[in-house]
Each structure stands twice: as C-alpha cells, then as structure tokens.
Chain A
C-alpha cells in the first residue's frame, strides 16, 4: 500500500498576522514557515502505520504546491521519515487550483492524507476537492485510522459524537486532532538522510482561478477589558446580565 500525505507550508501558529500597505496580501517578512499542524499529525500517523509489525505500507510520499522556498518544509517532512517528496512548481492560487495540481500526481496512491484545513486561509477544501477530482471516497473529521488489508477503518467525529466506518481503498482521509498524539520531531539521523531522499519537481497544469482574495482586514480592536476585584465575582455575573445582556 502506498500513502500520500499532502503538506501545507504555513506561517508558524504564533505569527502575528500583518498585511502589506494596501492590505491585498499577507506580509511574509520575518515569518517562520512550518508544516501545517494537521498535515504534520497526518504524516506522524502514516509513519506509525508503516512501522507497525506486519505493515503493508510500502512507501510514504509527501507533496505540496509551491515555489522553491517551500522545499525546506518538504525536507522537514522527509526528515520526519517520508520516503519521497513531490513539489508542483507553482504559486498556490485558490483551493481548486491546488487540488487540480495534486490530482495530476495523486493517482496510484491507496491512502491519501489531507489536513482538515490549512492554518493560514482556513479553506478546509483541498482534500475533498482532490477526492472528487479522482472520483474516490473521502472521509472527513478523522481522528483515528487503521489499515486492515485493503480496507481502512476510520474513527470520525460527527455532530454530537463519533463513529467508526469502514471504507475500501483508494480513499482520502481528511484528518483532525487526535489522529496522532504528538507530531514527530525530526531526529539528527533523519535530517541527514533527508538530504539524499528524492524530491521531484513537477510543472503545473493550466487551471482557472475560481476564487480570489480582494483584500484583508484585521478584526477591530476590542474595547478595554472591564476589571473586577477577586471579591466581586457576583458583580461580574450581574454585569453580564444587566450590561452585556448575555445571561
């Protein structure tokens, strides 16, 4: 069984968000780039599956759509333990553009992992779009996954509970928190080995842009916090009723 893990290159989650002067684009100056947190958990789970005794996983490939500067993030994925990386050499336009590029390289994989969303533009769309373009099943809100022969057993979150479902490969698993406990951190040996692992660069296919950002705004600053003393808990609750009118 071959696994593909989609890797998003996103600003570190502690980044203070700012935009350029005319507010049309994210200001990337001084930003640290990381593997999208859910993609990192997905890769960790893929590694656990591959390392399990009697595993049928032959290889783990990671892929992204991005320019050369995103290769550091793919190398990190290789250092964590992926066998091979593919980069589609293009600027990510919208979610459909990204999914359509990935559809060119995603055929032939049995299990495809996508994160539930990317922490930058919160699209939550690429995994589902890719599955539709490939004409295969997708299961979303995945918090647990086991491989049993050519069938995949998935635990997913549903409104008000959870559910175990079985699905036959190929399938796109769109994962959230819980899929792996802690993301793996590359070890020195992994970092050394990553340098010699294959990283293939693929040209993009022509794809229309369906959605675009016109501009961005930061949310309005909050008014000052109204402070009460440690003994005034009751007064605060009363203010929620009388003043804020939320109780």
Chain B
C-alpha cells in the first residue's frame, strides 16, 4: 500500500505547492504505515526530481513524456490512474492549484475513489477516513468522511506547510502507456508573467482597495511589495473599476489566498473579501473607518489615512530589510 503524491511542474520545475503536497503525503504515509510515492509527468531533470528527497518521499515514478507539457487534464488523469494502480495507492494527494483541482475529479472517477478537495490538515482518523476541508470559502470547516477504499485529496495551499525530512530517494521511470489519441489539447500560445511574485506562492501579500483612491496611487503598494518580496493584490471593486487586472482580485469570486502575512490597505472587508483571505496567518488592516469589518478579521490595525501610513510602512520595511 502507498500514498501517491502528484507533484506538478511548470517548464520542468516543481513549485512550492508541489513540495507542500509531498510533505503532506509523506506525513499521511507515516501515519498510516505506508510508502510515500511521488509521481511526475513531463520532462523534469534528475536534479529537480532529487529535491523530493528533502520532503519525505521514498520513491518517484517519473514519466519524461514531453506531451504532458500541454497540461491535458484527460491525459494526465489517465496517466495518474496508471501510476496509482502500479504502486497500489490507497491515498492520492494533489495540490489544490489550477492543475491539481482540474485533474483530481477525473482521477477520482477513474479509480472509483471518494474525493475531498480543499483539505486543510492531516486525517483526524484513518478508519473511518476523516479529513477537514474548507467550506463556504473559509467561513467554516467541514469534517468529511470518505467511504471508498481508495481516496483522492487536494491540499489547500499553505495549510500544511513544507516539512523537511531527508530520505534515500529511489527514482524510477514509468511508462504511462498513453498513445497519441489520448492527447486532445492543442496549445497555441503561452504567456508567462515574469518578475512578479505569484499570488499562489507568495508568503506575503500587499493588497489595496477603494481607499487607495485611484490606480495612480499603486506605486506605494508596489514599492512595499517589492521591499518585502511580496505579491500584490486588490479587492473586487478595484478590479471591476479596471484599476488593476482581474488576476489580482482576491476574495470569494477571485483568488483564494492564505499567505503568512496579508496587508489590507484601504479595504473595508466585505464578507466576500474576507472569505478569500481569512486563511492568512496574520492580517494587517489600514482603513479610515473605525467600524470597517476588516478590523474584526485583522490582527494588527491602524484607523487612519492609508496615504499617510503607507510611506511609514515602506520606510520601516526598508530599514528592516536594509
């Protein structure tokens, strides 16, 4: 029996969400007395695969088939099902990122497995198999039981963290047996955003709301983010007004984030916004309105003009990082 962890790559590189899924899967394997097996699809070099030895993984099944670069969900699910059967997987773990949440439902159907997405921690019981998941966009937690012999889980970002544990890693290549007819997606164009910290990976996020008064004032937010190595985000009205791109909108219908530190600058904290950021470990709020709901979610706050406070933040951050 084993726990199988899918570690996805972008252009041959693993990301933090993948290592977190590996850490989490390795911890379940230890809890259940099973082997932790990672699976990688697409061209990833030996040095990159070896990084999984830092996160408690025993074996890696690697298919170097370059066709997986198209991120074809149907083909990936089929390949993962092959891997799961080959290593006799009882539990399969994926990151709850764009690719993980696209593939996991398909994989669960193939394996007749119960699926729980957005999982926030280790199983609270192995029999019956019970895990906690986010529901109502972080406004509540659901205790969930899976009744099937095989289980598929997707792990909510930054809910478990990276756990370093060195192992003697065995890397094996494996043949998915997929033919050309299994790939049906034609990639025409890819735009990678470069030089920006990804919201999904950021440990610190600096976000602005309507209280920033206009897009011309965003240079302060960008400067603070750059000093702290943080990602930038915004509230829904800001992206609806076109002050910032939609990709920066955090909240219930935008991106759900859970950084270690979240700055809400000039954001009042509507319930839909809080849903998207309530997983943050520490929240800092600056708002003119002392009754703004953001202060109920915040750990640290200033009632005042964000235009006066932001330069102080930047200066203090520069001193700290200087």
Contacts and interface: CB of A to CB of B under 8 A. Distances in A.
Given A128-B102, A128-B103, A219-B278, A212 B299 contact: no
A160 interface: yes
B189 A164 contact: yes
Question: Most chain-A Cβ atoms within 10 A of its Cβ — which of B136, B247, B272, B317?
Answer: B136
B191 to A, nearest CB: 5
A138 B98 contact: no
Interface stretch (B36-44, B104-112, B208-216): B104-112
B191 A162 contact: yes
A95 interface: yes
Interface in B281-322: 281-282, 284-285, 295-305, 308-313, 315-317, 320
B260 interface: yes
Interface string A115-133: 0100111111111110111
B147 A212 contact: yes
Interface stretch (B19-27, B83-91, B137-145): B137-145
What band does the interface of chain A fall in when counting residues whose beta carbon is under 8 Å from B?
35 or more
A13 interface: yes
B104 A128 contact: yes
Contacts of B185: 137, 139, 165-167
A228 B287 CA distance: 12
B130 A214 contact: yes
A179 to B, nearest CB: 10
B44 to A, nearest CB: 15
Interface of B: 8, 10, 15, 17, 70-74, 77, 96-99, 101-106, 108-110, 113-118, 130, 133-148, 154, 184-193, 198, 200, 204, 228, 246-247, 249, 252-254, 260-261, 270-272, 275, 278, 281-282, 284-285, 295-305, 308-313, 315-317, 320
11 contacts: A37-B253, A94-B114, A119-B136, A128-B106, A129-B109, A161-B191, A163-B190, A211-B115, A219-B140, A227-B300, A236-B313
